[in-house]
Amino acid sequence: MIESIELEEIKSYFLALQDKICEQLTKADGLGIFKEESWQREGGGGGRSRVIQNGGVFEQGGVNFSHVYGENMPASATAHRPELAGRSFNALGVSLVMHPHNPYVPTSHANVRFFIANKPNEKPIWWFGGGFDLTPFYPFEEDVIHWHNTAKQLCLPFGDDIYPKYKSWCDEYFYLKHRQEPRGVGGLFFDDLNSPNFHTAFSFTKAVAQGYLDAYLPIIEKRKSMVYGTQERDFQLHRRGRYVEFNLVWDRGTLFGLQTGGRTESILMSMPPEVKWTYGYEIKQGSEEAKLLDYFLVPREWATI
């Protein structure tokens, strides 16, 4: 059973995690700073939104903490967990999306979250979820291998089957069905984690949070000074359109935030500041741009390459 002291422990960790991630990304950016806004939710709870804009590396990015609670779970949660209907809930977590200026630096996303749903005279239903994934525009194989090797290494202490399971789940989840293509090169995605016990599930969630920084920061350092031109920028803006489409059409987290009455501005901070949709947009076969779709946006066992 999750006691109130454990809920406070999780909340304290998530708040400290938001501080740590912002500190590390600010250092990597070298110019910009995160501006914070606190908000309250009418139905219960609130959060801290931190956004960086027009920095040395990041055109825009956000690292958000939220803790919301209420008497009924929203439809986005009960759709795949009907046993949650009629239960009160607490939902808290840290979620981030970073959109760099430079097309050679990938967009990245990560989140860790905890849910608990209660009903009088019944055991609480609780679980952790989260993960991280990478959306490059001009990928380098060594970067993708590093990203996945970092993911694999953090999973190993929890079992040999963990990385293949959550890597596959990530490939399946971050997939644009209407485009029939992945959003990026994947990473880890997990949900409904409540076994073998609270301590192990929480420890794995912490490992994923640290793994994001271990995976992303070296890629930023390698690529942030690369020279690019209008062609690379144009392609980046068109590919950002795919990111927007996924978040607005398929992402359960976006729906959950909106359905629970969260702060809309904070929920939609995942949107890039500039994006393009051009009717009939085509990529030249054999080009560097085509390589993204033909080679990198094909699920592979990157950690074994």
CA angle 59, 64, 66 (to 5 degrees): 160
Q: Is 67 a catalytic residue?
A: no
Q: How far apart are CA 227 and CA 23, in angstroms?
A: 26
Question: E strands along the chain, which residues?
Answer: 35-40, 45-53, 58-70, 88-100, 107-118, 125-135, 175-176, 181-182, 186-193
50 is in an annotated binding site: no
Question: Residue 73: which of 59, 83, 65 has the closest Cα?
Answer: 83
199 is in an annotated binding site: no
Determine how β-strand 125-135 pairs with β-strand 175-176. unpaired
Question: Measured on CA atoms in the order 22, 62, 240, 274, is the torsion positive or negative?
Answer: negative
Q: What angle do helix axes 141-155 and 198-223 make, rounded to 10 degrees?
A: 160
99 is in an annotated binding site: yes
148 is in an annotated binding site: yes
Selected catalytic residue, list 67, 101, 109, 146:
109
- Residue the block writes with tokens 């997990």: 190
179 is in an annotated binding site: no
Mind giving me the DSSP string for 29-94? Answer: HSS---EEEEEE-TTSEEEEEEEEES-SSEEEEEEEEEEEEESS--HHHHTT-GGGTT-EEEEEEE
112 is in an annotated binding site: yes
101 is in an annotated binding site: no
Provide the Cα torsion 238, 240, 245, 246; round to 10°. 140
What is the maximum span of the chain, computed from C-alpha positions, in angstroms?
63
67 is in an annotated binding site: no
Q: Which residues does the annotation place in the binding site for substrate?
A: 95, 111-113, 261-263
Q: Which residues does the annotation place in the binding site?
A: 95, 99, 109, 111-113, 148, 178, 261-263
List the catalytic residues: 109
Q: Which residues does the annotation place in the binding site for a divalent metal cation?
A: 99, 109, 148, 178
